[in-house]
Each structure stands twice: as structure tokens, then as C-alpha cells.
Amino acid sequence: MEPRLHEAAIKGNVTLLHQILREDPLVLDRVNFGGFGWSPLHVAALRGHAEFVRAVLGRNPDLVDILDSSHATPSPSIGKGAR
């Protein structure tokens, strides 16, 4: 995962996400997994960053179906953790 995108997901920093997207509008189309096999959406959802989750899904709704290293989508975490 792009290091700044990973940092933004961990912190739920939507401002940084938007900055990254201005610099590279296709970054969310090239999503891969971080060190633990999670996408930025997985990370943000697990940490309860609802605004970040909405911003990511607003740009690339297909990420809701991406699988982590355990073959799980971020959907359950979005429903439970994101507030």
C-alpha cells in the first residue's frame, strides 16, 4: 500500500486522503494490501473511521468487495466499527 495512504487510513485523515487523490487520482484503483494484508478500507473500517470509509467508497465503491489476507471483505467491519 502507498505509505501515505496507509498512514491516512490508520489515522482516518480525510484531508490527507484528498491530498493524495489530488496528486494521484487513480491511487484507489491500484489498491493493494499493507503489511497485514489489509486494504486502506479494511484499516479505516477496523479503526472506526467512518468519514474516511465514506470518502474511499465514494471514489471507488468496488473496494467494499476486496479481500484481505484472510479472504474477508471490509463489509463486516464497516457495519460494526465505523462510527
Q: What are the average pLDDT values for consecutive 10-residue runs of the chain, which has 83 residues?
A: 89 98 92 66 90 93 75 58 44
Q: What is the pLDDT of residue 76?
A: 52
Structural domains of the chain sorted by starting position, each given as residue range(s) with its CATH number in brackets? 3-80 (1.25.40.20)
Return d(Cα 22, Cα 14) in angstroms, integer. Answer: 12
Q: What is the pTM of this model?
A: 0.79
Burial of 62 (0-12, 13-18, 19+ CB in 10 A): exposed
Residue 25 has a pLDDT of 95
Q: How far apart are CA 62 and CA 13, in angstroms?
A: 21
Give residue 65's pLDDT.
74
**pLDDT score of 82:** 46
